[in-house]
A and B are shown apart, each in its own frame.
Chain A
Amino acid sequence: MIVAEGKPVEKILEMIAPYKKVLIAGCRGCVTVCLTGGEKEVGILASQIRMARSKDGNPIEVLEQTEERQCDAEYNAKFLENVGKVDAIMSLACGIGIQYLGEKYPLTPIYPGVNTLMLGANIDVGKWEERCFACGDCVLDKTGGICPIARCSKSLLNGPCGGSQNGKCEVSAPTKEDVSCGWQLIYDRLVALGQVDKLKEVIPAKNWLRAKGPRTYVREDLTLDRS
C-alpha cells in the first residue's frame, strides 16, 4: 500500500490563502487505509480550515467529497460538479491521485494535502514500515524474501556494512528510531531457510535505469483498441 502523511496545516493554509471556496478531495484507496486521506480526515481538515479562516476574519467555504480512487479517471469524473463550484482543489490522495485528479480538471488549481511517503505495510494501528522501493528489478529471490533496497539504509546489494551493530543499523541513533539492519534480517532469514550459502553469490550491480522515471508500463496483450 502507498503510505502518506498529512501535510502541516500551516502549509495547507498558505496554499489556499488566495481562495474563498475550496474542495477537499479524499480517496477511498490507500490513503483511507493508511488513515490519512479518507472521508474522516477530509472532515477533520475541512473543519480545521474553516475555523482557522474564521479566526482570521477571512471565511472560506470548504466542500468535502471522497471517491473510490483518484488514480482512475472514471472515479475522478465524479468530482466534476463540485470542482465547478470551487476556486481550488486540496487533494488528500497520494501523489499519483493528486496529479491524476489535477489532469482531469486542468483549469482548476490542485494542491497536495499530504506527503506521499513510501510503499509500506501496516504493522499495527498507526504504524507503517517501508517494504518496497519500486526499483523495477526485484532481487527478493536472492535475499531470503527481504528487500535490501528498501530495508538497508544504503540499499546495499551485498551487505551488511560496518554500521551494523547488534542487528541495528547505525542510522538508528540520530533518527531516534530503532532501524533494523536489513542485511542482518536477510542473514537471519537465510539461516532459518537453510540457504545461507546464497550469500556467497555476489549480486552484480543493478540496472538502476529501471528505477528511474518517468516510467511507463504497457501490456500489448491487454491494450484496448477503441477504434
Chain B
Amino acid sequence: MTKQITNIRIGIYLCDCDGKVSKKVDLQKAKTVIQSQADFDYIRATDVLCGKVEKEKIGAEIDKYSLNRLVIAACVDSFIMRQFLQLADEKGINRYNVEFVDLGAVDSTGAAVAAANNALGKMRLRAEIGYEELAVTPDVLVIGAGSEAAAAATTIAKSQPVVQIDNVGTRMIGLDGFPGAFTVRLLENGQAVKKDFGAIVLALGAVPQYDKSKYGGIELGADILSLSQFVNSGKDYAGKKVSFALGKADADSLLSFAAVLKAALGLKGKGASEVNVLYEDMKVCADDLEQDYELARKKGVNFLKYTGEFQIVRFPSGIAFKYREPFLSDPVKIVADYIVLAEEFVPAAATLELAEILDIRTGPGGFFQKDNVHFLPIKSNRAGIFFVGSCHGPIHGTDLYNEIEAVVAEVSAFAKGKVSVPSLQPKVEAEKCAVCLTCYRCCPHHAIEIVHGEAYNNMYNSAARMNPLACQRCGVCASECPGKAIQLPLYSDQEILVEVKQPARIVAYACENSGFLASEFAKTLDPELQKDVQIVEVPCSGKIDIIYLLKALENGADGVMLCVCHKENCKFVWGNNRAEQRKERAQKILNQIGLGERIDFVHVAANQGNQFNTAVKAMAEKIRQSGTNPGKVVK
C-alpha cells in the first residue's frame, strides 16, 4: 500500500558526460542555480557518472546523507538507467524513487536547470510505491473445443492446472472478480455452478462457412463440395480428377491454403489421377506452406492462376472450371470429377455472447479484438483474459504456437499461487470518494470494484478500489473522478501540475505511447521549433484532466496541445476519445470568456515526428492569430 511521504531526502547528481554536456550547458552554473532554487539534500556535479568508482562513491554518499530519492541528470540511456536502478536496489532505495533527467536532450543551461527543478519537484511530491503480495488461483480456464483449444490446454497444463470447456455442454454464463481471482459462473448440465480461475483463455477457433454469393450462386452438390465437406468426406478419390478453388471467399486466410495443400498431397498419395489448385494469390507466408507447396508441385499437383470471376460448367460426362488465365487471351477449361470450393472463415457461434459476458471487444469480421495497433495479439482489453488462435482472426501453424507460448508466459505468472506486484494502480482517498461509479463505468479494463468497511472514512463507508492485477494504469479513472479522490502513482495531479507552474509558451500533454515518442523524434528533426514547446508526458491521453489544460493557460501558457494516439488506436481502448471530449469542453470554457482558440487536439503516431512539428507550427500560428493569452493570472 502507499505509504505517507515522510522524511524525504533527495540527492541530485549532474554529469558532464566527459565534456559532452558542457558543450551546451554550463554545468557549474546550473549547479549553482539549482542550489539556490530547489529543495534537496545533496548535490554534486561530476565529469563522468557511469563508472565503478563513481558508483561506489555515490553509494557511500547515499549512506552518509541518508538519501532515499535520487535525481540523475546525465546523458540518459538504458545503460545509465540500469546502473542506477541497480544501485538503488543495492542501497534499498525504491526504484520508483529514482528520476532521470536527460541532459543530452537540453541545449541551454536554463533548460537544464528547468528540467532538473522539475524532476526535483516531482520527487518531492511522489508518493511512496510499495509492493503487494497477492494470493492468486493458478487454475486456467480454456474455452473452445477444437484443435487450437486442445493445443493451448495441453501446453498450459505443463505449468499449472487447466480446465477446458467446449462452451456447448458446459457454458460460461457470467464472470466476476479480477485476474488471479476470477469467479466464473458456468452452466453445467443445466446446473449453475461457480468455479475459481486465475486466467481465462479463449480458443474458440474459426468456423468455415460456404457462402454461395461469393461464388456467383453456385450450389454445393454431389460433385461440388465445400473444402470442409471434402476434408471430412473420407471418400476414396483414387483415379479421380479433383480441382480446388481458392481466393474467392477466403482472401485473407492462410487456413484454406494450408488445408488445400494438405488435401492435394493426400490425394496424390492415394492415387488421384489429376489434382488442380486454382488460385488468385499464392499465400505461403507461414513456415511450412512454402515447403508443402514445393512438394506438391514436385508430386504433380497443378497450380493454376486465375483472374477475375470463374464459372463452373456442367456437361453430360462431368463438370469443369472455366476461368481466365492472366497471360492467355482465351478462357481455359479444366475438366474435373470433383470441384472443391474454399469457404470463408467466420467467428464461432459463441463469440458474440462471450464478448458480452466478458465485456471484451470484437473487431473486423466479428472476431475477437478490435483492429488496434497497440493491442498485442493475445491480449484483450481485460488483464487475465487472453485470445489464442483463430478466434481473433484466422491464423495458422507456427503463429498459433507462438501465441500459445505467449499466453503461457502470461498465465504462468500465477502458477505458484502468489504474485508480488508494485502497487502502481490508482489510489482512492476514501474521504473524497462519493461512490458515484463514474470511475467504475469509465474504466476500460474492468479493474475497479466498490469495497465497503469501517476503514473507508466517508458517509457510505465505501470507496472505489483499483485491482493491482487488472489495472493497466491509463489513469482515465483519475481524470474522470468528480471528487478528485483518485490519484495515479507517478502521475498524480500534483506531480503533473508542478510541471506547468511556469509553463512554456506551448504546453503539449503527450501520450507516452504516441505523442511523447513523436515529440522526441521531432526534436531531432527541428530542434529550433521545440524551444517554445514544453512536453508533459502522460501514460495515456485519457489521463489528461481538463484542469491540466486550464491550469497551463491560467499559469501563462498561450496554447495547449493534446498529442494522442490515432482514432480507434488507443492502447487503453477509449482514453483518446475521453481526451477529445475534454478538449471540446475546455475550448468551450475558453470561448465563453473570450480567450480564443488555444487548444489543439492532435492524433499522432510514435513515428510521426514531422506531423508533430507541423502541429506545433499550426498551434504557433493559432496563437499568433489569437494573440498572447490574456487569461494569464499574475500571481
Taking Cβ atoms with an 8 Å cutoff, the residues of A that contact B are 8-10, 13, 28-29, 32-33, 35, 38-41, 43-44, 47-48, 50-52, 54-55, 59, 66, 68-69, 122, 124-125
- CB-CB under 8 A from A47, the residues of chain B are 547, 550-551, 554
Are A48 and B436 touching (Cβ within 8 A)? no
Are B633 and A51 touching (Cβ within 8 A)? yes
Please provide the 7 A-B residue pairs with the shortest distance between their CB atoms, ordered closest to farther: A51-B631, A52-B593, A38-B482, A33-B436, A47-B550, A39-B484, A55-B630
Return the CB mask of B474-485 against A: 1 if under 8 Å, else 0: 000000111111
How distant is the Cα of A43 from the Cα of B589 in the complex, in angstroms?
13
Are B459 and A68 touching (Cβ within 8 A)? yes
Q: Which of B432, B437, B592 contacts A48 (CB 8 A)?
A: B592
B634 lies within 8 A of chain A by Cβ: yes
- CB-CB under 8 A from B595, the residues of chain A are 51, 55
Q: Which of A41, A59, A125 contacts B442 (CB 8 A)?
A: A125
Are B593 and A9 touching (Cβ within 8 A)? yes
- CB-CB under 8 A from A48, the residues of chain B are 550, 589, 592-593
- Name the residue among A32, A59, A69 with the largest chain B CB count within 10 angstroms: A32
Interface residues of B in 581-599 (CB under 8 A from A): 589-590, 592-595
B132 to chain A, nearest CB (A): 27
Return the CB mask of B314-341 against A: 1 if under 8 Å, else 0: 0000000000000000000000000000
How distant is the Cα of A82 from the Cα of B485 in the complex, in angstroms?
22
Return the CB mask of B601-627 against A: 1 if under 8 Å, else 0: 000000000000000000000000000
Can you list 14 A-B pairs with a CB-CB distance of less than 8 A? A9-B593, A32-B436, A39-B483, A39-B484, A40-B483, A40-B484, A44-B589, A48-B589, A50-B633, A51-B632, A52-B594, A54-B631, A55-B595, A122-B437
- CB-CB under 8 A from B547, the residues of chain A are 40, 43-44, 47
B435 to chain A, nearest CB (A): 8
- CB-CB under 8 A from A32, the residues of chain B are 434, 436, 482-483
**Nearest CB to that of B437 among chain A residues?**
A122
Are A125 and B438 touching (Cβ within 8 A)? yes
B546 lies within 8 A of chain A by Cβ: yes
B354 lies within 8 A of chain A by Cβ: no
- CB-CB under 8 A from B480, the residues of chain A are 125
B503 to chain A, nearest CB (A): 14
B202 lies within 8 A of chain A by Cβ: no
B597 to chain A, nearest CB (A): 15
How distant is the Cα of A35 from the Cα of B546 in the complex, in angstroms?
13
B485 to chain A, nearest CB (A): 8
- CB-CB under 8 A from B481, the residues of chain A are 40
B574 to chain A, nearest CB (A): 11
Q: Which of B441, B458, B459, B592 contacts A9 (CB 8 A)?
A: B592
User: Given A47-B547, A51-B553, A55-B593, A35 and B482 touching (CB < 8 A)?
Assistant: yes
**Nearest CB to that of A30 among chain B residues?**
B434
How distant is the Cα of A157 from the Cα of B589 in the complex, in angstroms?
43
How distant is the Cα of A124 from the Cα of B485 in the complex, in angstroms?
20
Are B482 and A9 touching (Cβ within 8 A)? no
**Nearest CB to that of B586 among chain A residues?**
A44
B576 to chain A, nearest CB (A): 16
Q: Which of B441, B554, B594 contacts A50 (CB 8 A)?
A: B554
How distant is the Cα of A68 from the Cα of B590 in the complex, in angstroms?
30
User: Given A43-B547, A125-B438, A38 and B484 touching (CB < 8 A)?
Assistant: yes
- CB-CB under 8 A from A40, the residues of chain B are 481-484, 547
Are A44 and B630 touching (Cβ within 8 A)? no
Are B482 and A33 touching (Cβ within 8 A)? yes
Q: Which of B432, B484, B546, B631 contacts A55 (CB 8 A)?
A: B631
A20 to chain B, nearest CB (A): 14
Are A44 and B550 touching (Cβ within 8 A)? yes
Interface residues of B in 432-461 (CB under 8 A from A): 432, 434, 436-438, 441-442, 458-459
Are B438 and A28 touching (Cβ within 8 A)? no
**Nearest CB to that of B482 among chain A residues?**
A38
B483 to chain A, nearest CB (A): 5
- CB-CB under 8 A from B630, the residues of chain A are 54-55
**Nearest CB to that of A75 among chain B residues?**
B459
How distant is the Cα of A48 from the Cα of B437 in the complex, in angstroms?
27
- CB-CB under 8 A from A41, the residues of chain B are 482
- CB-CB under 8 A from B458, the residues of chain A are 28, 68
Are B631 and A28 touching (Cβ within 8 A)? no
How distant is the Cα of A94 from the Cα of B630 in the complex, in angstroms?
32
B267 to chain A, nearest CB (A): 57
A121 to chain B, nearest CB (A): 12
How distant is the Cα of A48 from the Cα of B634 in the complex, in angstroms?
14
How distant is the Cα of A54 from the Cα of B445 in the complex, in angstroms?
41
**Nearest CB to that of B434 among chain A residues?**
A32
Return the CB mask of B542-557 against A: 1 if under 8 Å, else 0: 0000110011011000
- CB-CB under 8 A from A125, the residues of chain B are 438, 441-442, 480
User: Given A41-B482, A125-B441, A28 and B432 touching (CB < 8 A)?
Assistant: yes
Are A54 and B482 touching (Cβ within 8 A)? no
- CB-CB under 8 A from A54, the residues of chain B are 630-634
Q: Which of B442, B482, B550, B594 contacts A39 (CB 8 A)?
A: B482
11 more A-B contacts (CB under 8 A) besides A13-B593, A35-B482?
A9-B589, A28-B432, A33-B482, A39-B485, A41-B482, A44-B546, A47-B551, A47-B554, A51-B632, A55-B595, A69-B459
A28 to chain B, nearest CB (A): 5
Are A33 and B593 touching (Cβ within 8 A)? no
How distant is the Cα of A51 from the Cα of B555 in the complex, in angstroms?
9
**Nearest CB to that of A9 among chain B residues?**
B592
Interface residues of B in 373-419 (CB under 8 A from A): none
- Name the residue among B432, B589, B593, B594 with the largest chain A CB count within 10 angstroms: B593
How distant is the Cα of A99 from the Cα of B304 in the complex, in angstroms?
85
Interface residues of B in 550-576 (CB under 8 A from A): 550-551, 553-554
B91 to chain A, nearest CB (A): 38
Are B592 and A10 touching (Cβ within 8 A)? yes
Are A29 and B434 touching (Cβ within 8 A)? yes
- CB-CB under 8 A from B442, the residues of chain A are 125
- CB-CB under 8 A from A29, the residues of chain B are 434
Q: Which of B434, B441, B553, B592 contacts A33 (CB 8 A)?
A: B434
B15 to chain A, nearest CB (A): 39
- CB-CB under 8 A from A39, the residues of chain B are 432, 482-485
**Nearest CB to that of B593 among chain A residues?**
A52
**Nearest CB to that of B578 among chain A residues?**
A125
How distant is the Cα of A51 from the Cα of B552 in the complex, in angstroms?
11
How distant is the Cα of A54 from the Cα of B551 in the complex, in angstroms?
14
- CB-CB under 8 A from A66, the residues of chain B are 432, 483
- CB-CB under 8 A from A55, the residues of chain B are 593-595, 630-631
How distant is the Cα of A69 from the Cα of B482 in the complex, in angstroms?
15
B591 to chain A, nearest CB (A): 10
A144 to chain B, nearest CB (A): 27
- CB-CB under 8 A from B436, the residues of chain A are 32-33, 35, 122
**Nearest CB to that of A28 among chain B residues?**
B434
B448 to chain A, nearest CB (A): 13
- CB-CB under 8 A from A68, the residues of chain B are 458-459
Are B438 and A51 touching (Cβ within 8 A)? no
